[in-house]
Structure 1
Amino acid sequence: MSFIKDFRQLLKPYYWINILLSISYVTCKRTAVICNFLFPNTDCELDSRETEILFFLIIVVMLRTRKAGSVTMVNYLSASFVYTKIANLILWFYADIRYGLPYGALVILCALTLPEPTYIGPEHVTYFRGLQTLDEELKHHKGTTWLVCLYAAWHPACVNFAPVFAELSASYSLDNFKFGKLDVGRYPDVAAKFRIQDGPTSRQLPTLLLFTEGQEEMRRPQPDNTGKLQKFLFSKDNVKAAFDIDGIYQKCKEKLATSKNKKTD
C-alpha cells in the first residue's frame, strides 16, 4: 500500500520532471544516438572527472538523506534533488558551457513554476487563543490526549510544517485524541512557560508537545543531557515515529470503544 501511494506521488509533475533533470547528463552521455549528436567525436563513456563527480554526489546524497531522517522513497528523492541537479549542472558546464547555461535556466524555471506538492485538504486542528484556553482544556478534559504545535506564523519552518500537521490531524483525530496549535508570536507568555525561544533564529520553532492526563509527556525538538537542542526533522514519517502516533491512535480508539460499551450496558 505504501509503495502504491509513493508511486502515485511520483506521477506528479514535480517529481518526474526533477527525476529527468537529475539523470539528464548520464542518460545523454550513455545513450549512443543522443551522445553522438551532443558530443561528436568523443567516446560515449564517462571520463575519470565525471566519474569522480558522480561518486561524490552519491556520498553527499547518502549522508544528507540519512542526516535528514528520510525513510520513504519519496523522502529520499525530495532530499536528493538539490544535490543531483547541482551535480548535473557541473557536469553540463564541464562538458560544454553552451549546454550548462540552458540546463541552469531550466532548473531555475522548474523551481519557480513547480513547487514541491504539499497536503491540501481537511484538517481537525483546534487553534488555542492564548495560554489560558490551553490550560483550561488540559485541566477539564484530562482523558483527552493532545498533540499541540507551538508555532509562529512568520517562521519558514512552521509554514512548511503546517500542511504536514494538518494531514496528521485529518488522519488521526478522535474525540479523545486531538490536535491543537498555538501561535507563540501572538502569545509570548506561552513561549515563556514552555521555554521556547521565539526569535527569528530560533531552532525551537515549531515545537510539538504531547499531553496525556493534562501533563506534558514529551516534546520535539528536545535538549539532550548536556542541554544542547537535538535536531529534529518535522516530516510526517518522523513525527509519526517519534510520538508513536499509530500506537496512540489505537489506544485512544480502544478507550472510546470501551466507554461506549459501558454506556450501552
Structure 2
Amino acid sequence: MSFKKDVALLIKPYYWVNILMGLSFIVAKRAPMICNYLWTYLFNQQDQCELDGRETEILFFLLIVVMIRTRKTGSVTMINYLTSSFTYTKIANLGLWFYSDIRLGLIYGALFILVALTLPEPTYTGPENVVYFRVENGLEDELENDKRVNWLVAFYTVWNPACVNFAPVFAELSAEYNLPNLKFGKVDIGRFPAIGKKYHVSDSSFSRQLPTVILFRNGKEVARRPFSDSKGKLVKFFFTTDNVKAAFDMNNLYKECKDNPIKSTKAITGAEKKKN
C-alpha cells in the first residue's frame, strides 16, 4: 500500500481508537490536566505525574517487543507496524494501569474488551480475482484439470499476522494480473493441514513459512517464496507488492500468458468441422 492509502486508513475508528488506547497511559501521566484530574482529584493521590522506574522499564520492554515482533511478521508499511503492535501496546497499558491503580486497570480492561468486540480490524474490500480452495483436493484437481493454466497460490492461516498483512497485496495482484491462463488461489492450511504437509508448508504458530506463495506451471511447482537455500535454511522474504512482482517475474509472465491465450475447445472443434 502507498503512504497515501495508509494515511487514509488512519481515519477509520479501529486505528485511531487503538492508537489512543496505546498512548493512553503516557498521555495521562505526562499531560498535567489529565494527570491531576485522575490521580489528585478523583483518587486523592499525590505526585503521580511522573513515570517511576518500573513504568519506564515496562515501556522500554514494550518498545523492544514491538520492534522484534513487527520485524518477524514482515511488517513493511506504517499500517502493518501499527496493527502488529496494537495487541502488545494495549496489554502493556493494561499492566501499567493496574500497576498504577487497580480501579483504573479495571476500567481500561473493560474498554479493552469492548473495543475488541465492537471494532474488528478492517479487511481489504477492493477488487480481487482469487479462487479460495475450500475442499481437500481442490487445488490438486485444478492443477490436473488444465495444465495450460498457471497458478499463483498463497498458503496461509487466518490467525497469522503476516498472512493478514499480505492479504490486500495478494488481492491487488490478482486484480491486476488475472487472465484465463494466469489465476490466483488461496489455501487455508490451518483448515487443511494435510495440504500444508503435501507442499511442505508448516502451519505451526512458530512457523516462518507463513505465508508461502508458490507458482505452478504445467501443474508443477516452479518457484516459491520463502524458499530454503542449499543448506536447508529458510531465506526470509518480505511480501511487498514490488517484491512479489520481481520474485515471480509477474510482468513477463503476464505478457507471455496474454500473448498465448487458451483457445476454447469448442472454437477449435467448430473450426475443424468447418474445415472438413
> Where on the TM-score scale, by shorter chain, does this alignment land: which range?
0.7 to 0.9
- Native 8 Å contact 1:119 1:167 kept in 2: no
Q: Deviations over 1:17-56 (max 9, x none)?
A: 0000000011111111111111222152222222222111
- Native 8 Å contact 1:92 1:99 kept in 2: yes
Aligned pair partner of 1:94 in 80, 90, 99 = 99
Q: Deviations over 1:193-228 (max 9, x none)?
A: 534578x88956764211346542222454454546
- Structure 1 residue 137: Cα displacement: 2.4
- Native 8 Å contact 1:147 1:179 kept in 2: yes
One-letter amino acid matched to 2:114: L
1:197 to 1:51, Cα distance in 2 relative to 1, 3 A: closer
- Structure 1 residue 60: Cα displacement: 1.4
Q: Deviations over 1:162-188 (max 9, x none)?
A: 954444322432455321346777796
One-letter amino acid matched to 2:84: A
1:113 to 1:130, Cα distance in 2 relative to 1, 3 A: same
Corresponding residue of 2:271: none
Please list, as runs of the form range in 1=range in 2, the aligned pairs for 1:26-41 lying within 5 A after superposition: 26-40=26-40, 41=46
| Structure 2 residues without counterparts, runs of 5 or longer | 41-45, 262-276
TM-score by length of 2: 0.72
Partner of 1:178, secondary structure, is: strand
1:182 to 1:50, Cα distance in 2 relative to 1, 3 A: closer
Corresponding residue of 2:241: 240
Aligned pair partner of 1:134 in 127, 143, 150 = 143
1:166 to 1:2, Cα distance in 2 relative to 1, 3 A: closer
| Structure 1 residues without counterparts, runs of 5 or longer | 261-265
Aligned pair partner of 2:60 in 55, 58, 69 = 55
Q: Deviations over 1:100-145 (max 9, x none)?
A: 110011011111111111113433124574524313422x34xxx4
- Native 8 Å contact 1:120 1:163 kept in 2: no
Aligned equivalents of 1:226, 1:217: Cα separation in 2:
19
Please list, as runs of the form range in 1=range in 2, the aligned pairs for 1:103-182 lying within 5 A after superposition: 103-126=108-131, 129=138, 131-138=140-147, 140-141=148-149, 145-150=150-155, 156-157=159-160, 163-164=167-168, 165-181=170-186
Partner of 1:23, secondary structure, is: helix
Aligned equivalents of 1:76, 1:183: Cα separation in 2:
24
1:46 to 1:186, Cα distance in 2 relative to 1, 3 A: closer
- Native 8 Å contact 1:240 1:246 kept in 2: no
One-letter amino acid matched to 2:36: N
One-letter amino acid matched to 2:50: E
- Of 110-119 and 158-167, more deviation after overlay is shown by 158-167
Identity %: 51
- Native 8 Å contact 1:146 1:212 kept in 2: yes
- Of 58-67 and 247-256, more deviation after overlay is shown by 247-256
- Native 8 Å contact 2:128 2:172 kept in 1: yes
Q: How much is the aligned-residue C-alpha RMSD, in angstroms? A: 3.8
Aligned equivalents of 2:226, 2:81: Cα separation in 1:
22
